[in-house]
Amino acid sequence: MSAAHLPTALPLHPTAQLSTLVENRTVYSREAIELNVFETHRQAHQVPLSMGNLVLTTMLRGKKVMHLAGRAAFEYLPGESVIVGEDQTMVIDFPEADAATPTQCLAVAIPTDTIRQTIDLLNEEHPRAEATMPWQLDTTEHAHFQNTPELTGTLERLVQLSQDTGRVKDVLAGFTVQEMLVRLMQTQARQLIFHNYQQHVTTHRFAHVVQYIKQHLTEQLTVDKLSALACMSKATFFRVFKRELGITPVEYIIQERLAEAKRLLRHPLNTVADVCFRAGFNNTAYFQKLFKQYEGMTPGLYKKQYAAG
């Protein structure tokens, strides 16, 4: 996972300041939210935790194993988030936690009224592309996901605001919570459409567009063509795609081509120039620039580090 998806870990408490070594809790309260930071400094198993309100949890350090009702246990790692529904109990294992490698997790408790008001506003003023799939928070199928850079940035601002004081900070925190909810729903929409598009290709126009992009990745892909597939005007398609999924169609195409480039670069016989054109780019300088911008290294260095011998 790109480092851009990882929220910045917070300073750990010295052991002498901890009230417990398992899920030591620090609370930062504002009018709009309650932000909790949990630290665990020793191994533990089957630790129950319930927070009442709907909660967004985000891993900052270490590893947990989460047990949620109705689904199999899963590993929970930095750069990932889990939405836990109202009055739902998490049961958590800490298989690797110790003084040297503690776990650290954010838990943002969000008032029910804030969630309802934000969702109602979106559905009334900014509806999704398909009327049969309104804005909502999924606390079941898509409750566990990798963070997007946009969601990570919002969480980091919320942490900063929660630790500051002043009336203006309360107002800003309220707006940031609303943005966080939007980012959450966009992240879940990406998971639904980008990763499970085949299940929705006949019922969601963006799933149909995503399938076309994946099948024609090396060809010229224009917004005119994609908007026609979505049965929308060019302007409406571009605006609604970004609003619903958090990125533009062009950004999505770039991400898909870079993902294909990384896959090809891991093959030892493929040259950087070959990969550039096979992944759908038509200019090696542009490819190199984009690759470094998104991945933090050149294609050549990526190949050297990750190509199978």
Contact 262, 302 (CB under 8 A): yes
Angle at 52 between CA 48 and CA 57, to 5 degrees: 65
Judged by phi (left if over 0) then psi (alpha if -120 to 50, else beta), residue 20 lies in beta
Q: Do residues 75 and 97 both lie within one domain?
A: yes
Q: Do residues 228 and 258 both lie within one domain?
A: no
Q: Alpha carbon 72 to chain centroid distance?
A: 21
Q: Do residues 283 and 168 both lie within one domain?
A: no
Q: Which of 247, 264, 288 is the last residue of a domain?
A: 247
- The token pair at 260 is 């294909």
pTM over 0.85, yes/no: yes
3 state SS of 28: strand
**DSSP per position, 125-162:** HS--S-TTS-S---SSTTSEEEPPHHHHHHHHHHHHHH
CATH number of the domain bearing residue 190: 2.60.120.280
Q: Do residues 270 and 157 both lie within one domain?
A: no
Q: Do residues 260 and 146 both lie within one domain?
A: no
Q: Do residues 206 and 125 both lie within one domain?
A: no
Q: Alpha carbon 119 to chain centroid distance?
A: 19
Q: Which of 177, 195, 213 is the last residue of a domain?
A: 195
**Mean pLDDT for the chain?**
92
Average pLDDT of the residues in 180-196: 94
pLDDT tens across 126-170, in order? Answer: 999 999 999 999 998 889 999 999 999 999 999 988 877 777 788
Calculate the dihedral angle through the C-alpha atoms of 36, 41, 46, 48, rounding to the nearest 10 degrees.
Answer: -20
Q: Do residues 44 and 62 both lie within one domain?
A: yes
- The token pair at 84 is 């836990």
| Residue entry with tokens 């879940």 | 188
Q: Report pLDDT for 181.
A: 96
Q: Report pLDDT for 229.
A: 97
| Residue entry with tokens 């939405």 | 83
Q: Do residues 28 and 134 both lie within one domain?
A: yes
Range in 1-15, 31-45, 143-157 the model is least confident about: 1-15
Q: Which of 207, 229, 247 is the last residue of a domain?
A: 247
Calculate the dihedral angle through the C-alpha atoms of 155, 180, 32, 90, rounding to the nearest 10 degrees.
Answer: -70
Strand partners, 61: 104
CATH number of the domain bearing residue 278: 1.10.10.60
Average pLDDT of the residues in 209-217: 97
Q: Report pLDDT for 4.
A: 46
- How many domains, the chain? 3
Using alpha carbons, select from 115, 109, 4, 94 the residue that is nearest to residue 48. 94
Contact 228, 189 (CB under 8 A): no
Q: Do residues 145 and 206 both lie within one domain?
A: no
Distance CA 169, CA 37 (A): 19
Does the pLDDT value for residue 30 go beyond 90? no
Distance CA 243, CA 131 (A): 15
Would you place residue 1 in the very low, low, confident or very high pLDDT band (cuts 50, 70, 90)? very low
Q: Do residues 220 and 173 both lie within one domain?
A: no
Does the pLDDT value for residue 31 go beyond 90? no
Q: Do residues 210 and 275 both lie within one domain?
A: no
Contact 286, 277 (CB under 8 A): no
Q: Do residues 237 and 275 both lie within one domain?
A: no
Q: Report pLDDT for 188.
A: 94
Q: Report pLDDT for 63.
A: 97
pLDDT tens across 218-263, in order? Answer: 999 999 999 999 999 999 999 999 999 999 999 999 999 999 999 9
Range in 22-36, 39-53, 249-263 the model is least confident about: 22-36
Give the number of other Cβ atoms within 10 Å of residue 262's Cβ: 18
Q: Report pLDDT for 15.
A: 87
Distance between first and last Cα of the chain: 22
pLDDT tens across 84-113, in order? Answer: 999 899 999 999 999 999 999 999 999 899
Task: Provide the greatest CA pair distance for the chain.
Answer: 63
Q: Alpha carbon 220 to chain centroid distance?
A: 28
Question: Residue 64: which domain range?
Answer: 1-195
Q: Report pLDDT for 9.
A: 85
